[in-house]
Chains A and B, each alone.
Chain A
């Protein structure tokens, strides 16, 4: 079985972002970019499944401008066997990501498609569910544990839901999206980073995959959230209780 993993290049999670003065978006020039943390977890899970002998190959896929190649190289250095880059401009909405993934699934025929549960830039939490819908595959979102039964072709997935953990079982092929606690992604070692340079990355464009990009959303503006007024430092518990009682009126 082959596993396909979608990875997204995003502004690094530790960067304090700034909104552009013309309100068209956030500043992404000269800002550290990395693989979306949930995508690292997705890739790690695919690698562990391969290392357990339950999969033969891990293919990493990324969509966007040419710099996504760097993200793919990171994935290859972690251990993915090969990469696919779909060259597109920066603003692919999840619906089109899902449509492109569907085409790639039809070409590569993986038994499992793993994505992160959300990208930390647009915070959408949509692509995995959407591609599952387009493929008519079952979905296991927000996964914190994945157990594959190769014989029965079934994946048992623990999902982090609002009031606890839900366990479901899915027939393969299936789509899984990863939550934070699924695993601890490995670091790429220097020799593996060198080896990754030789691994193949195939290139496509949306046109070659006959996916028409016709966005049905437009960004009107991007603004900063309202600032909180600055607070005060109190010196004792008594003062704190007094303030909460008489100034804030919350207790």
Chain B
């Protein structure tokens, strides 16, 4: 109840914070300007969205300016906007769409919102992270604008030429977008890693303006958010962890998978899993690494009891150092591993737990 009242208060206050005259500022149209559709959580921009921002800033266009679109409702939206405004020197403007319609990440109102913002801003590029949100919303938006999106971009050659992996990362395709503006991209965040240096907060804040939603007329009855079940997150985020410890089918049971979790804890690492481990019910599906799960590229990737199927390699082959422990010396994982150890993981993991240096 208390939060409800606080929320109302914040909304009333917000009207004071952002006077109406600021609202018209988004109608200015400029060539070579980029819109980043960002996700936020607990009052800050998600790190995958910061990667999308880095990708936007790296577009080789001298006159380019970057606007960031944030939507949602409640005080955390405005905290996030304030965070965004000072988070990167390339941001010239933060657009805020405050409505209950964007409280949950439903594709229908979101695609309509970005469409509306595009009609007013005439951006040359619209970029989001290749997160489940970006993958859900951006192609729908592209269809509304009658353009082909380029998804899961890992490299930018010039303002209209991009590299993206195909066939589970077994080939890299360079594509040129030749259609009308805007060029719509989703960005693989591991290819545009966010370092402390790259998001050094700048002293002068970008302007924050409200998106005028008076003409927003999405038929909001077509889809409804029901619920969301999340894991209790203890360790670091899988997508951005420095170390990832992954277990496969060979862990045998959810109980024994705890060994992987213990090792991850000791290393301050995130826990990953193969499809086999998820399907067998050892861990939740959001830990799956691979072509259809999460894509990771940590400094150190430790794979235990993972055979190394094409579909799994697609999600981790860009890791800096790969360690594989498997009792099958012929397992394909050893072909990509920098360090391999042929042995029983039920002996190796306890030994590692004992001998690894204490994390400070």
Contacts of B150 in A (CB 8 A): 217
**A55 on the B face (CB < 8 A):** no
Q: Please tell me if the beta carbons of A219 and B175 are within 8 angstroms of each other in the complex.
A: yes
B225 interface residue per 8 A CB criterion: yes
Asked if B147 and A171 sit within 8 Å, CB to CB, the answer is no
Q: Given the known inter-chain contacts A125-B139, A244-B323, please indicate yes or no for A156 contacting B226, CB distance below 8 A.
A: yes
* Contact (A228, B223) CB under 8 Å given A94-B139, A181-B285: no
Majority SS of interface residues in chain B?
A: mixed
Bound complex: CA A162 to CA B41 (Å): 13
Type the 1/0 row for A94-129, where 1 means its CB is closer than 8 Å to any CB of B.
110010000000000000000001101111111111
Q: Is B27 an interface residue (CB 8 A)?
A: no
Q: B106 and A168: CB pair below 8 A?
A: yes
User: For the side of the interface on B, what is the size category?
Assistant: 35 or more
> In the complex, which of the residues B140, B152, B233, B341 contacts A133, with contact meaning CB atoms closer than 8 Å?
B140
Q: Does A233 contact B (CB under 8 A)?
A: yes
Chain A positions 214-251 with a Cβ under 8 Å from a chain B Cβ: 215-225, 228-229, 231-238, 240-241, 243-245, 248, 250-251
Residue A194 interfacial (CB < 8 Å)? no
Given the complex, which residues of B lie within 8 Å of A219, measured CB to CB?
173-175
Contact of B221 among A171, A229, A233, A238 (CB under 8 A): A171
Using Cβ atoms and an 8 Å threshold, which residues of chain A touch B166? 26, 121-123, 222
A189 to B164, CA, bound (A): 39
Minimal beta-carbon separation of A185 from chain B (angstroms): 14
Q: Is the CB of A225 within 8 A of B148?
A: no
Bound Cα distance A142, B136 (Å)? 9
Candidates B107, B111, B340; contact of A233 at CB < 8 Å:
B340
Closest residue on chain B to residue A184 by CB atoms: B279
**Residue in contact with B222 in the complex, picked from A130, A171, A238, CB distance below 8 Å:** A171
**A218-B175, A251-B357 as given contacts; A232 in contact with B339, CB under 8 Å:** yes
Chain B residue numbers with a CB within 8 Å of A217 are: 148, 150, 175-179
The complex places the Cα of A126 from the Cα of B184 at a distance, in Å, of 12
Per the 8 Å Cβ criterion, residues 291-314 of B in contact with A are: 291-292, 294, 299-300, 310-311
CA distance A245 to B231 in the complex (A): 32
**With contacts A117-B292, A216-B179, A217-B176 known, is A225 near B225, CB below 8 A?**
no
B172 touches A225 (CB 8 A): yes
Among A117, A125, A164, A232, find the residue whose CB has the most chain B CB atoms closer than 10 A. Answer: A125
- Answer yes or no: B132 CB below 8 A from chain A CBs: yes
Contact status of A243 and B227, CB under 8 A, knowing A98-B143, A129-B136, A138-B222: no
Q: Does B317 contact A (CB under 8 A)?
A: yes
Does B321 sit at the interface, judged by CB under 8 A? yes
CA distance A240 to B321 in the complex (A): 12
User: Does A67 make an interface contact (CB < 8 A)?
Assistant: no
Q: Give the contacting residue for A130; candidates B131, B142, B165, B337; CB below 8 A.
A: B142
Question: In the complex, A120 Cα to B311 Cα: how many Å?
Answer: 9
Measured CA separation A250–B170 after assembly (Å) = 27
Render B95-130 as a binary contact track against A, CB cut-off 8 A, 1 for contact: 000000000011110010000000000000000000
Q: Does A180 contact B (CB under 8 A)?
A: yes
**Contact across chains for B334 and A250 when beta carbons are under 8 A apart:** no
Closest to A131 in B: B143
Q: Is B348 an interface residue (CB 8 A)?
A: yes
Tell me, in angstroms, the Cα distance from A141 to B164 when the chains sit together: 22
Say which one of A9-17, A70-78, A82-90, A196-204 lies at the interface with B: A9-17
Q: Contact check, B357 vs A225: say whether CB atoms are below 8 A apart.
A: no
1/0 per residue, CB under 8 A from A, across B311-325: the answer is 100000100111100
Contact indicator B140/A237 (Cβ below 8 Å): no
| Contact with A166, one of B171, B227, B320 (Cβ below 8 angstroms) | B227
- What are the residues of chain A within 8 A of B279 when measuring CB–CB? 181
Partner of B321, one of A142, A164, A216, A244: A244
**B277 proximal to A (CB < 8 A):** no
With a CB–CB cut-off of 8 A, which chain A residues contact B139?
A: 94, 125-130, 133
Q: Is B227 touching A163 in the complex (CB atoms < 8 A)? A: no
B200 / chain A contacts, CB cutoff of 8 Å: none
- Within 8 Å by CB of B334, from A121, A223, A231, lies A231
Residues of A within 8 A of B164 (CB): 123
**Distance A218 CA – B177 CA, assembled complex (angstroms):** 7
| B173/A244 in contact, CB under 8 A | no
A122, A216, A234: which contacts B178 (Cβ < 8 A)?
A216
Q: List 11 A-B contacts (CB under 8 A).
A: A14-B310, A123-B164, A126-B151, A129-B137, A132-B107, A138-B223, A167-B227, A170-B223, A217-B175, A218-B178, A237-B348
* Chain B residues near A (Cβ < 8 Å): 105-108, 111, 131-133, 135-144, 146-152, 161, 164-180, 219, 221-231, 233, 239, 243, 267, 275, 278-279, 284-286, 291-292, 294, 299-300, 310-311, 317, 320-323, 329, 334, 336-342, 348, 351-352, 355-357
In addition to A95-B142, A133-B111, A162-B239, 20 A-B residue pairs with Cβ atoms within 8 Å of each other are A17-B167, A118-B292, A123-B168, A139-B108, A140-B223, A160-B132, A162-B133, A163-B286, A166-B225, A166-B228, A167-B226, A169-B224, A171-B223, A216-B180, A223-B174, A225-B170, A231-B322, A231-B334, A231-B339, A237-B352
A interface residue numbers (CB < 8 A to B): 11, 13-14, 16-17, 19, 26, 38, 93-95, 98, 117-118, 120-134, 136-142, 144, 156, 159-171, 179-181, 215-225, 228-229, 231-238, 240-241, 243-245, 248, 250-251
